[in-house]
Amino acid sequence: MSRKNLYNVGALLAGLGVTFKYMFKRKPTIQYPSRKKKHAPRFHGLHELRRYGDGKERCIGCELCSSVCPANAITVIGAENSPADRRSPGERYAARYEIDELRCIFCGMCEEACPTDAIVLTPRFEMSDYRRGSFIYSKDRLLVPPEAGTGLAPDDRPNGIPSDLGRVAEIKSTVSTDEGYDATWRGTILKTQTKGLAE
């Protein structure tokens, strides 16, 4: 060791100083997945398809979301409601609704285009899986359960025009980051812990 290097002990100590300083600071690392960070309120994650308060689907299969989608991620095929099995208010519903979440760029344009506030982006982000095919979300995984519906169906309103669209837009999703949520509506497999959400 040359003599010159000895003079660098000061620098070494300075560096260690930084190390020790952070040792006693609050740690930013979160113990994911047992703990989760709170999202920004307008975070764009996994989609969900919403229902009205009476359980009817909001989506009317109009394909506006799929037309506006810059990533071409959405496929909608409409069909006619039958009186015996009414899926949505009005005449039309989405018989098939699929989003390829691998194509999606989470821009939220679909949400903007939807005339009934049916499709919204939730803060859910955990979609990892082993197969590409399972990233194509169809109605069975996108549609919220009937009890999660909100708002009055337009059938009950004069001239069939829903007036609560603005309100639904406000309560953007059924996900409460404060209370924790399932990663998808699939079930309880990924129920996260409520404790430990970042304060």
Under the binding rule (CB under 6 A), the answer on residue 143 touching ligand SF4 is no
Site for ligand SF4 in 153-192 (CB under 6 A): none
* Of 18-26, 102-110, 129-137, 181-189: span binding ligand SF4 (CB under 6 A): 102-110
Contact 79, 95 (CB under 8 A): yes
Residues that bind other proteins (CB under 8 A): 60-64, 67, 77-80, 90-92, 115-116, 158-160
Q: Which residues does residue 119 pair with via DSSP β-bridges, in sequence order? A: 49
Rounded to a whole number of angstroms, the minimum distance from the CB of residue 94 to other proteins is 9
Nearer to other proteins, 54 or 80 (CB): 80
Rounded to a whole number of angstroms, the minimum distance from the CB of residue 78 to ligand SF4 is 8
Contact 97, 49 (CB under 8 A): yes
Rounded to a whole number of angstroms, the minimum distance from the CB of residue 110 to ligand SF4 is 3
**Which positions ≥6 away from 51 have C-beta within 8 Å?**
57, 58, 143, 144, 146, 148, 149, 150
**Which positions ≥6 away from 76 have C-beta within 8 Å?**
59, 61, 62, 63, 65, 66, 94, 96, 97, 98
Write the interaction track for ligand SF4 spanning residues 32-71; mark x where CB under 6 A is met and - where it is not: ---------------------------xxxxxxx---xxx
Nearer to ligand SF4, 64 or 144 (CB): 64
| Residue ranges binding ligand SF4 (CB under 6 A) | 59-65, 69-71, 73-74, 76, 94, 99, 104-110, 113-114, 116, 118-119
